[in-house]
Structure 1
Amino acid sequence: MKPMKSGFESIRNYLGSKKEKGRRKIALLVDGPNMLRKEFQIDLEEIRDVLKDYGSIKIGRVFLNQYASDKLVEAIETQGFEPIICTSDVDVRLAVEGMELVFSPVIDTIALVTRDADFKPLLSKANEHGKETILFGAEPGLSVALKNSADYVIILKEGIMEHEYNSRDLKESGTEDFSEVPLPGEGQVKL
């Protein structure tokens, strides 16, 4: 299992340290039926705030099925996101729009909020075309294949975010051991 570091501020520091010169142009895509559930207590505003430290959110879309309540749709709009109501499968619509963004010159980072392995090809294609990928997921049920396809993985747990190290962290640190990968402003992480 990959090491984790928790805390909202830790995630902000981590992503802030990863941005290159200039601000990243981010597309945020949320799998509503999979993630906006009472048991996960996902706070879209917190996700947006974390990503704003990393770059500018150019596109923020929350994909919902036709059974989404008017209250949920209104809350999503109030937070500044675009609700996309799907009359058929939400996954197909999200994947199609995600693939369009892979080829968009306006976007250089794709952030997905999902647990669903169906989006592994989207993350793989985005990476293949030089896009950076950030996955916000939740347990239980977060696909291991999905986690391994994203550049950065942030696990949401009841109002707490945890960063999970991945292979990019090892490459950037020049080490073979996750225990030697420092977090910004925190020195070495001892596991």
Structure 2
Amino acid sequence: MWKKLGNLKKFYVRTGGKKGTNKMALLIDGPNMLRKEFNVDLDKIREALDEFGDIVIGRVYLNQYASDKLIEAIINQGFEPKISAGDIDVEMAVDGTELIFNDNIDTIVYMTRDADFLPAIRKAKERGKKIIVVGAEPGFSTAIQNIANHVIKVEEDFELDKEKLEKKKKEKESMRSHHDNNNNNANTVSNADNKNEDKNELNNNEEEKDSIFKNKINWLKK
């Protein structure tokens, strides 16, 4: 299961064919990997990692210049954006080191091409954590590939499907519109009920006044 494989097609050919039981923390180096030239679909990264187990923690590290659109997309895909005005690599490495002592995590996934994470990866392996590295060429560090228990290379299989993204966006907008219409209908019905209640109350008041007036006339006649 932990044999190093070169690409996604081979990656899916696994003995047993069962989903793994690993509890994973996925740390994504945003500026390094979420680039236009890679066009990465994070949903496909998740699907690939599902073969090994469950992603318990999923974080995407971004710099202060990240667009609102990118941050929203990351949140919509179920990941936690961590925005830093400082050195992203340092913050990501610190978090990776802290995860070594998290008993709920047995596998740390680094999505990066950067060799700067070697010290954190070495320390994690010393503490018995498994390491998966997800990266892309060019510039994919050979050192972090060699130290990892498993390497996944981002190739065409991981590219973002724009049609799929647009479809998901339209479905989301449709659901929001349907929800708003339901709320509007509910408000309309509620307003109509309130008007009917006010009308009934007014009629009751008028009837009560007529009754009092008639009683007074009958008393005077006596």
Measured against the shorter chain, the TM-score band is: 0.7 to 0.9
Query: Partner residue of 1:7?
Result: 8
CA distance in 2 between partners of 1:75 and 1:67 (Å)? 15
Question: Given the alignment of the two structures, is residue 122 of structure 1 paired with residue 125 of structure 2, yes or no?
Answer: no
CA distance 1:4–1:149, shift in 2 (3 Å):
closer
CA distance in 2 between partners of 1:33 and 1:151 (Å)? 24
Alignment of 1:141-152 (within 5 A): 141-152=139-150
Aligned partner (choices 155, 159, 164) of residue 157 of structure 1: 155
If asked which structure has higher relative contact order (CA below 8 Å, sep 6+), I would say: 1
Query: Partner residue of 2:36?
Result: 38
Alignment of 1:33-182 (within 5 A): 33-159=31-157
CA distance in 2 between partners of 1:101 and 1:47 (Å)? 20
* Unmatched tracts of structure 2, length 5 or more: 160-222
2:74–2:80 contact (8 Å) kept in structure 1:
yes
Q: CA deviation at 1:143?
A: 0.8
Secondary structure at 1:99 match in 2: helix
| Cα RMSD for the two superposed structures | 2.2
Q: CA deviation at 1:26?
A: 0.4
Q: CA deviation at 1:4?
A: 5.4
2:71–2:81 contact (8 Å) kept in structure 1:
yes
CA distance 1:76–1:51, shift in 2 (3 Å):
same
2:45–2:158 contact (8 Å) kept in structure 1:
no
Q: How many residues align?
A: 156
1:101 counterpart letter in structure 2: L
Q: CA deviation at 1:159?
A: 3.2
Percent identity of the aligned residues? 54
Secondary structure at 2:14 match in 1: helix
Secondary structure at 1:106 match in 2: coil
2:44–2:158 contact (8 Å) kept in structure 1:
no
Query: What does the per-residue CA deviation read over 1:53-108, in whole Å, with 9 as the maximum and x for residues that have no partner?
Result: 21111000000000000000000000000000011110011001110101111100
CA distance in 1 between partners of 2:15 and 2:89 (Å)? 27
1:6–1:160 contact (8 Å) kept in structure 2:
no
Q: CA deviation at 1:6?
A: 3.3
- Give the TM-score of the pair, scaled to structure 2: 0.65
- Give the TM-score of the pair, scaled to structure 1: 0.75
Whichever of the two has the greater Rg, that structure is 2
Q: CA deviation at 1:158?
A: 3.1
CA distance in 2 between partners of 1:75 and 1:116 (Å)? 24
2:8 counterpart letter in structure 1: G
1:14 counterpart letter in structure 2: R
CA distance in 1 between partners of 2:15 and 2:120 (Å)? 21
Q: CA deviation at 1:19?
A: 7.2
1:32 counterpart letter in structure 2: G
CA distance in 2 between partners of 1:16 and 1:135 (Å)? 22
CA distance 1:29–1:44, shift in 2 (3 Å):
same
Going by fraction, where is helix more abundant, 1 or 2? 2
Going by fraction, where is strand more abundant, 1 or 2? 1
2:5–2:151 contact (8 Å) kept in structure 1:
no
